[in-house]
Amino acid sequence: MSDQPRTSTARTDLERQAWPALSDAALDVLRAHGVERHAEAGEVIWEVGQPGYPFIHLFDADLDIVDRGRDDAVVVTITAGNFVGELGMLMGQQTFFAGVMRSTGRILVVEQDELRRLVATVPEVSDAIVSAYAARRKLLIEWADGALTIIGDDNDRTCLGLREYASRNRIPFRFVDRADPDAMAAIGQSRDLPAQGTVAIARDGAVLHDPDRLTLARALGYELLPEIDELFDLVVVGAGPGGLAASVYGASEGLKTLTIDDTAIGGQAGTSSRIENYLGFPTGVSGSELAYLGEIQAIKFGARVAVPYRASGLARRDGQFEITLEAGPRINARAVVIASGARYRKLPLGNLGDYEGNGVYYAATELEARYAGGTNAVIVGGGNSAGQAAMFLSRHAEHTFIVVRREGLAATMSDYLSTRIARDPRITLVTHSEVTELRGGGGLKALTLTDRRTGEATDIETRALFVMIGAAPNAQWAGDLVRTDDKGFVLTGAAAGAADSPFATSVPGIFAIGDVRSGSVKRVASAVGEGSVVVSSVHAWLSDDPPAKQKAR
């Protein structure tokens, strides 16, 4: 927490985005769909953990955002003339903090469901509120305020996994390293903590010992699963670029849309530190930022996003589809888009698991880059993700090595990246080689590279190995329902016997896009394109009497 009291007075560019003045047109619309009333100082407008709370515009009163988990500390005071709310309101998330009137005055109250409808349909309301709420989430992340504290050892894999989950899903949190005695003593004054392991303190002060991601999500009210008997027009499995695009276009076309993902929004692209060849971002954009913007667009149009839930089965029942989750209810859909992407393969080393999260990483964001400081960074892989990681990590590591089994990068990496790598003295390309041994106690300390042609071995001291090899399809959860190629990628279009759509699978009503689709181009832009185009095929399937549905009966 900052020592200085925070208010909705704008001082930085981000704060100006977070606290805009509503236009007269927007305020008139909100007044027409809300209720003006008198509020008393000390009145609790909403409490921590509520499934939703109303939109509040403050005419001549102030309101405090209060952290119940920190002895009712005031996170920020929203002053008269501003409106209340945060991105979680549009997402249906439970509240991080409480809202308590600081002074007496008039307020305008618009119920949450009505606000979400206005955001989806009235540009004057949407333009002001969506951008403000997105900026406020960024402020909470900057302030490390979000009613979540993660405590643990910096190199502990459970601790790193929770921080990755929170960071990639834009959940505001603060991290306390057990090696910091002052911070640990301060927390220990107000609650008892386990002596070892990773601890998460949720918004209501609950202490979770070594929780998994789903347990943490539930404690924060982030799992956002629908009622078990709810029927969706479209369920998108996978929240990478393709899945998010399908969600945006599906929801904007009026389809009741749900998107689920087992890890975080963004997929593999979400782990990229910088994407420079995506249209509209001439200076580049991080994968996580691109995914975040896509998620906001989907939510703006009314889509629901539920993370982290892993799909484990897909079946056709009574003319509908049923998606089974590993931990949660079954989801019912009239149409399904498989956008579950691909995942990096693991190195075939017996002790790999000993170092995952403690020297071996599968992403190269700011969080993982910290472990490359003061050591060599070794990247295994020759695709664009590996190239982007090399350019990013070379600014942190003593030296960066890219290891590939081929003779070079030309066949697998974009020219602009391979050219930069060749010219960067901080990066060395090691060809025709593979990692054959990992060594170190209490974390990775060194590895051995072996030349596949000569058998010559080279040792490299490193505490940071980044594995970005190959693309194993993530389609096993669909079982035998849809046809796949010999590598496990989902067949679509003519290859699946479906002539009506290039994205239709062998089962009418189920579509596949992005990296999981056989023959797809493994690029962010192509996945986004497929996600936007597939919605027209979904609409055709959902129409009254499409030819494909006749065949399925």
Helices (H), 377-490: 384-393, 415-423
Count the helices and strands in the chain (H runs, E runs): 16, 28
pLDDT of the residue at 277: 87
Residue after which a domain boundary falls, among 143, 173, 191: 143
530 and 381 within one domain = no
Is the pLDDT assigned to residue 33 strictly greater than 60? yes
pLDDT of the residue at 191: 81
Q: Encode 447-471: b = buried (16+ Cβ within 10 Å), e = exposed.
A: bebbeeeeeeeeebebbbbbbbbeb
Place 223 in a pLDDT band, splitting at 50, 70 and 90. low
pLDDT of the residue at 526: 94
Q: Give the residue among 474, 475, 536 at the shortest CA–CA distance from 504.
A: 536
For residue 5, tell me if it sits in a domain: no
Q: Vertex 299, ends 257 and 136: CA angle to 5°?
A: 165
For residue 3, tell me if it sits in a domain: no
269 and 286 within one domain = yes
pLDDT of the residue at 146: 65
What's the mean pLDDT in 366-373?
93
Which residues, 6 or more positions from 104, have their beta carbon under 8 angstroms from its beta carbon? 38, 39, 40, 41, 61
Does residue 61 contact residue 80 with C-beta atoms inside 8 Å? yes
Give bridge partners of residue 126 from the DSSP assignment: none
442 and 329 within one domain = no
pLDDT of the residue at 27: 96
Is the pLDDT assigned to residue 550 strictly greater than 70? no
43 and 108 within one domain = yes
- The total domain count for the chain is 4
pLDDT of the residue at 470: 74
309 and 376 within one domain = no
Count of other CB atoms within 10 angstroms of residue 250: 31
Structure pTM?
Answer: 0.89
464 and 393 within one domain = yes
For residue 362, tell me if it sits in a domain: yes
Place 553 in a pLDDT band, splitting at 50, 70 and 90. very low
Q: What is the pLDDT of residues 117-148, one digit of tens each?
A: 999 999 999 999 999 999 988 888 888 766 68
CATH code, domain with 337: 3.50.50.60
Place 228 in a pLDDT band, splitting at 50, 70 and 90. low
CATH code, domain with 154: 3.40.30.10
Q: What is the pLDDT of residues 513-543, one digit of tens each?
A: 999 999 998 889 999 999 999 999 999 999 8
Helices (H), 172-238: 181-188, 213-220
Residue after which a domain boundary falls, among 192, 220, 248: 220
Give bridge partners of residue 504 from the DSSP assignment: 511
For residue 195, tell me if it sits in a domain: yes
480 and 433 within one domain = no
Q: What is the domain range of residue 177?
A: 149-220
d(CA 292, CA 304): 14
314 and 211 within one domain = no
359 and 330 within one domain = no
The residue type found at 393 is L
489 and 437 within one domain = no
Place 227 in a pLDDT band, splitting at 50, 70 and 90. low
Q: Vertex 243, ends 238 and 246: CA angle to 5°?
A: 145
